[in-house]
């Protein structure tokens, strides 16, 4: 994944400018900065949710630059601005999200993902009834659905208890060994996860 | 999990199935549409039912009931995704054309359900006799498809705005006016028992409106969907 000269303005307000980085497999980037410095905006641009005011993001796989659809299928994402469907159960959410991504949903494997985040007893409950910590855990089950090549985490431990935070630690370590990890955080302790660091708001 | 080459249409069908499942569990739009339709129908039938109205007024009232009832639900199709913060999830897993087709189909199903209730009730309560049923049905189908196409893309545009209600009115008035005028005229001809060829100019306009609106939606949606 490569970001070339990224800049973003909302009207006249500059959020950030001249962001450059290049990430290979088994590498990681920590994006840090104060509230409002543009961490979430940068992650949204990397995912293709919003367009940068200048610059571009390139995702390559096996030497081939991917188009937006192909690139999107490599991404796993956990962020506060991304919620799962409250009117569906945990399992129904993952079945729907697999299907719309063009996967043949194997319910046993989906149940494994739900069990991995510690929600197996609640897999048939509507997500509406989940606590915020449980919703956060379910977001990790979704993010890991495709064993993503690129995992983007925004404030990854929000709402999680100690057990949940340990789970995130495991996921982060696992991702750093096999793909690309991009983590946006305010916590100094999380800086250790990054091979590269970008400080926004300077 | 095995990857399978799901087509654009198949993925849209999965999105439609998800939306229907969510809708029937919450009845977010369905209740609003049906309650509005029944209230409007009751008011119209109590205030006008005793008079013998000419076909122009009857057809205007018919489309007004359908238009205002559908607006209360069809406009919510993207607003709901924004408000429940699932819009980014959808952006991550589906390409824009899949989302557009899925949401169009969902709005079409909602409008179909509305018309299943409203059309027979309107005919009974207003003691309406339609002399050219095929022309009436053709205008109804084409008018409904045009209405769905227009409201879906307007709904996508307004979902990003802070003042959604005001913007919806401002945008929908000029866009839907040609459709409503043509559909009202076609319905009037069908009530009066004019031949199919007499209503052909209205049908042609409705088909053109549908083609233009569908094409414009496909071209515009990519820009609307990606902020």
Domain assignment present for B43: yes
Domain assignment present for B2: no
**pLDDT beyond 60 at B4:** no
Decide: A152 and A79 in contact? Cβ < 8 Å.
Answer: yes
Which residue out of A11, A45, A72, A87 would a mutagenesis test of the B interface target, given it has the greatest number of B Cβ atoms within 10 Å?
A87
Domain assignment present for B1: no
Contacts with A, B 52-111, CB within 8 Å: 84-86, 88-89, 91-95, 98
Q: Which fold has domain A1-74+150-155+182-202?
A: Rossmann fold (3.40.50)
Domain assignment present for B193: yes
Calpha distance B94→A86 (Å, rounded): 19
Nearest to A100 among B15, B25, B226 (CB): B15
Instruction: Please report, for chain A, the start and end positions of each structural domain, with discontinuous segments joined by +.
Output: 1-74+150-155+182-202
Q: Minimal CA–CA distance to B1: which of A108, A177, A100, A118? A: A108
Query: In terms of residue numbers, what domain contains B117?
Result: 9-225
**pTM for the full predicted model:** 0.90
Concatenate the DSSP letters of all residues of A133-160 into one string: HHHHHHHHHHHTTT--SEEEEESTTTT-
Q: What is the ipTM of this complex?
A: 0.88
Domain count across chain B: 1
Domain assignment present for B83: yes
The string of pLDDT tens digits covering residues B110-134 is 999 999 999 999 999 888 889 999 9
> What's the whole-number average pLDDT of chain B?
89
| Residues from chain B contacting residue A102 (CB–CB below 8 Å) | 3-6, 11
| Residues from chain B contacting residue A101 (CB–CB below 8 Å) | 93-94
To the nearest whole percent, how much of chain B has pLDDT over 90?
57
């Amino acid at each position: 994944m490569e970001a070339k000269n990224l800049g973003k303005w909302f009207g006249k307000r500059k959020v950030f400018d001249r962001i450059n980085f290049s990430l290979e497999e088994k590498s990681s980037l920590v994006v840090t900065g104060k509230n409002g410095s543009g961490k979430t905006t940068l992650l949204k641009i990397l995912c293709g949710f919003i367009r940068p005011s200048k610059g571009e993001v390139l995702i390559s796989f096996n030497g081939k630059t991917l188009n937006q659809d192909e690139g999107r299928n490599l991404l796993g994402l956990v962020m506060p601005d991304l919620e799962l469907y409250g009117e569906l159960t945990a399992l129904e959410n993952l079945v729907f999200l697999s299907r719309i991504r063009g996967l043949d949903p194997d319910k046993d494997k989906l149940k494994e993902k739900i069990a991995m985040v510690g929600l197996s007893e609640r897999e048939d409950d509507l997500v509406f009834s989940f606590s915020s910590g449980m919703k956060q855990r379910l977001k990790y089950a979704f993010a890991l659905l495709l064993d993503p090549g690129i995992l983007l985490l925004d404030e990854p431990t929000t709402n999680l208890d100690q057990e949940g935070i340990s789970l995130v630690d495991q996921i982060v370590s696992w991702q750093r060994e096999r793909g690309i990890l991009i983590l946006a955080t305010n916590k100094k302790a999380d800086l250790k996860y990054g091979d590269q660091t970008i400080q926004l708001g300077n | 999990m095995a990857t399978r080459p799901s087509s654009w249409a198949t993925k849209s069908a999965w999105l439609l199935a998800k939306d229907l499942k969510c809708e029937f569990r919450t009845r977010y739009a369905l209740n609003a549409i049906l309650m509005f339709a029944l209230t409007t129908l009751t008011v119209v039938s109590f205030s006008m039912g005793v008079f013998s109205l000419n076909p122009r007024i009857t057809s205007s009232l018919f489309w007004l009931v359908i238009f205002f009832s559908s607006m209360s639900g069809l406009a919510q199709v993207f607003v709901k995704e924004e408000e429940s913060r699932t819009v980014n999830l959808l952006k991550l897993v589906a390409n824009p054309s899949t989302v557009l087709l899925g949401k169009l189909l969902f709005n079409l199903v909602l409008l179909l359900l509305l018309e299943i209730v409203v059309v027979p009730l309107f005919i009974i309560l207003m003691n309406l006799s339609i002399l050219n049923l095929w022309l009436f049905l053709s205008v109804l189908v084409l008018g409904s498809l045009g209405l769905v196409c227009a409201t879906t893309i307007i709904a996508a545009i307004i979902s990003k705005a802070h003042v959604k209600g005001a913007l919806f009115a401002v945008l929908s008035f000029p866009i839907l006016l040609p459709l409503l005028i043509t559909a009202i005229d076609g319905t009037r001809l069908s009530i009066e028992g004019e031949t199919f060829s007499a209503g052909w100019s209205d049908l042609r306009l409705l088909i053109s409106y549908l083609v233009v609106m569908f094409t414009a939606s496909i071209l515009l949606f990519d820009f609307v969907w990606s902020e």
